[in-house]
Chains A and B, each alone.
Chain A
Amino acid sequence: MRHTLAVLVENNPGVLARVAGLFSRRGFNIESLAVGRTENPAVSRMTIMVEADDRVLEQVIKQLRKLIEVLKVQDVTKEEHVDRELALMKVNAEPAKRAEIIQIVEIFRAHIVDIGRKTMIVEVTGDEGKVNALENALRPFGLKELVRTGKVAMLRGTRDMTTNGKEVEE
């Protein structure tokens, strides 16, 4: 089963290598990993998608927690949460095809962010399913390039996953 892990880490150089290295050396499969800083500049947050059964998942979480620079790990898969991914798609767009593409883009509430002589860049934000669906819809036109950020996720409502106001050394 696929799980979405939210991981708070100290914002130190090398911390990404520690996390990535852990996954590869223990044979855990990362499907996607998105990382950036949080409301606290000393803390970064990773959203990691991992394919694992319950037993492996338990190991993934425990091994992550063992890393000294990992502050918090939570499996948000079964919690009420919002997740989003952003993708940019460069699609072949001869003038004759543009209207059709624009129509598809509107249906998906995506945006066109660049138009070249023969191509357009479409930006889409949404859950994984929506991004996949748009990708499939645009593929027949000729998808020249595709880049996805990987999923980011956040719990709904008042529950949060900050470092609870505790100071983290910079």
Chain B
Amino acid sequence: MITVGEAVIRCLEKEGVELVFGYPGGAVLPVYDALHDAKIKHVLVRNEQGAVHAANGYARATGRVGVCVATSGPGATNLVTGIATAYMDSVPIVLITGQVPTVQVGTDAFQEVDITGITMPITKHNFLVKDPAVVPVVIKKAFHLARTGRPGPVLIDLPRDVTAAEIEFEYPEQVQLKGYKPTFKGHPSQIAQAAKMIYESTRPVILTGGGVISSGAAPELLKLAEIISAPVASTLMGLGGFPGDHKLSLGMAGLHGTRYANMAITNSDLLIGLGVRFADRVTGTVGKFAPKARVIHVDVDPAEIGKNVQPHLPIVGDVKQVLLTLLPLLSPREGGDWLAEVAGYKRDYPLEYTRENGLKPQYVIEKLSGVTRGEGIVVTDVGQHQMWVAQYFCFKYPRTLVTSGGLGCMGYGLPAAIGAKFGRPEKQVILVSGDGSFQMMMTELGTLAEQGLTLKIFILNNKRLGMVRQLQEFYYDKRYSAVDFSFSPDFAALAGIYGLSGYTVDTGAAFDAVVEEVLAGEGPALVNCLVEPEENVFPMVLAGKGLDEAID
């Protein structure tokens, strides 16, 4: 007989978990007691939100399930923002929370919150376990749910008496979930129909999304694009799924997408959406989205199909499996006039910014892209800097961009970068943050320092909430409300306190002078980049407009 707390750790070991991110408290003590002698590494964060974002970054960078542990009440509620972040981006995470003893559940006991109730809409599934004997089965189910089908966060709430109880340990090989049977392979006749539609089209465009990355379909996507000579636009979540330096790459589409991606979509006669959900950031006004195109929509989640954009051909299945079935049905074809036209869009409407004055944020990203040659992992926060990363960093490989897409959660960056570095220690991990976002979770510098991780942090410091300022410029006639920081710490000096090398730069030349040294250096470093404060992210599609009506 072992305690359920110990059983939890054994289950994690059986699932191949090597590390968990967490923060202890009274209701989860039996689990922490078991962690004391476990092989699994526990990373003590500084705020539970940091734990769940770190698990997210770890999962995104590796493709494995991220795990985090927290106590009841405030520990659990601190996870909520991170759970929503993971849910929106379909990131596989298993969360274990302590709960007050079963007899106290429902009595407003000290540090009791109904975390399964609170997280119902933002988890793929959750469990409140009252029977100690079923805990291993529940954990098996949780991992199965988190990583299969459309991945997502799964929470397990364990009352303290449950984790303290003793059970005979047995871990099931498999679990049956009657109500959960994700479709893996697409329907063969629909896939055949897709091949037919591809040959009927003369102006095809592929739109690739996060599903291509989570299903590991990048090699198949590359083959598809090359065989049918279709240009590839990406969603924010899809960046890295197709090599950014490939001649068929159009970069990111959407409200801040490249003009050429948006024009290609608008003028296409066939749009092949792979692992996308046609989110509002990508489509702009739905009625004006891809108006001339027949749409093929491939996604593992049937509920995404027809939710925002009505496809002509729906294919429910794992993108990789669908492409593996589709590819043999295709024979090579030339891009002809269409590729020439798209090349014209690229030539006539490139991404550009004016290079005079001070330090341009776009320049910083362009330079980072050049110096790293796209080999590292880039983690971002949320705001203008995130969009500039998406536009100006050339992502070549899957799982090299780690960013909060669906929720757009400021504060994600630093802890997610910590998680990514734990997952891929051999990789250069770069965090690009904003002065606003960074200050939301800079408390995790403590975790970074304690764990001795080598992160390279670049803060695009415009001394304001740049993205909100931009919105106020365009939609509220420059009535700037609550967007300026009249105080921020000296980030370079702050970095020094935490043992990072700190730098401050305010010109392109000064940035050039330090960037290679920073990236090549042994230890962690932070570069406070004092950028042009009122730079805007262009192109920009205003509300109510179609993708081809961007301004810049």
Which residues in A have some Cβ–Cβ distance to B below 8 Å?
9-10, 13-14, 17-18, 21, 25, 55, 58-59, 62-63, 65-71, 163, 166, 168-169
Choose among B176, B179, B301, B307 the residue with the greatest number of A CB atoms under 10 Å from its CB: B179
Q: Is there contact, CB below 8 Å, between B177 and A21?
A: no
| Bound Cα distance from A66 to B30, whole angstroms | 33
List residues of B (176-222) whose CB comes within 8 Å of A's CBs: 176-180
Neighbouring B residues of A59 by C-beta, 8 Å? 303, 306-307
- Bin the interface of chain B by size: 10 to 19
Bound form: Cα–Cα A46–B15 in Å: 36
**CB <8 Å contact, A169 and B176:** yes
Known: A10-B178, A14-B120, A68-B125. 4 other contacts (CB 8 A): A68-B179, A69-B179, A71-B178, A168-B178
Nearest Cβ in chain A — how far from B350, in angstroms?
A: 39
Contact between A68 and B120, CB atoms less than 8 A apart: no
Taking the complex as formed, is B47 at the interface, i.e. its CB lies under 8 A from any CB of chain A?
Answer: no
How many Å from the CB of B500 to the closest CB on chain A? 42
Contact assessment for A169 and B121 in the assembled complex, using a CB-CB cutoff below 8 Å: no
Q: Which residues of B contact A10 (CB under 8 A)?
A: 178-179
A17 to B307, CA, bound (A): 23
In the complex, what distance in Å separates the CA atom of A111 from the CA atom of B276?
57
Of B117, B121, B179, which one neighbours A71 at CB under 8 angstroms? B179
**Chain A hits for B179, CB < 8 A:** 9-10, 67-71
The reply to whether A62 and B128 form a contact with Cβ atoms under 8 Å apart is no
Q: Scan B102-138; emit 1 where CB is below 8 A from any A CB, else 0.
A: 0000000000000011001100110010000000000
Contact partner of A18 among B120, B177, B310, CB < 8 A?
A: B120
Interface pair B124/A68, CB less than 8 Å apart: yes
B178 & A166 in contact (Cβ 8 Å cutoff): yes
Cβ-based interface call for B448 (8 A):
no
B302 at interface (Cβ–Cβ under 8 A)? yes
Give chain B residues whose Cβ lies under 8 Å from the Cβ of A69.
179
* Cross-chain contact A66 with B303 (CB below 8 angstroms): yes
Which residue of B120, B302, B310 is within 8 Å of A62 (Cβ)?
A: B302
Cβ of A68 and Cβ of B145 under 8 Å apart?
A: yes
Contacts of B177 in A (CB 8 A): 68
Nearest chain A CB to B155's CB is how many angstroms away? 12
Q: For A55, give its contact among B176, B178, B306 (CB under 8 Å).
A: B306
Please report the C-alpha to C-alpha distance between residue A65 and residue B182 in the assembled complex, in whole angstroms.
10
CB pair A17 B120 closer than 8 Å: yes
Chain B residues with CB below 8 A from A66, complex form: 301-303
Could you write out 19 A-B pairs with CB less than 8 Å apart? A9-B179, A10-B178, A13-B128, A14-B117, A14-B128, A18-B120, A58-B306, A59-B303, A59-B307, A62-B303, A63-B303, A66-B303, A68-B124, A68-B179, A69-B179, A70-B179, A71-B178, A166-B178, A169-B176
Docked CA distance A59–B305 (Å): 9
A-B residue pairs, 5 tightest by C-beta = A62-B303, A68-B125, A71-B179, A68-B180, A62-B302
Nearest opposing residue in chain A for B128, CB measure = A14
* Pairwise interchain contact B178-A65, C-beta atoms closer than 8 A: no
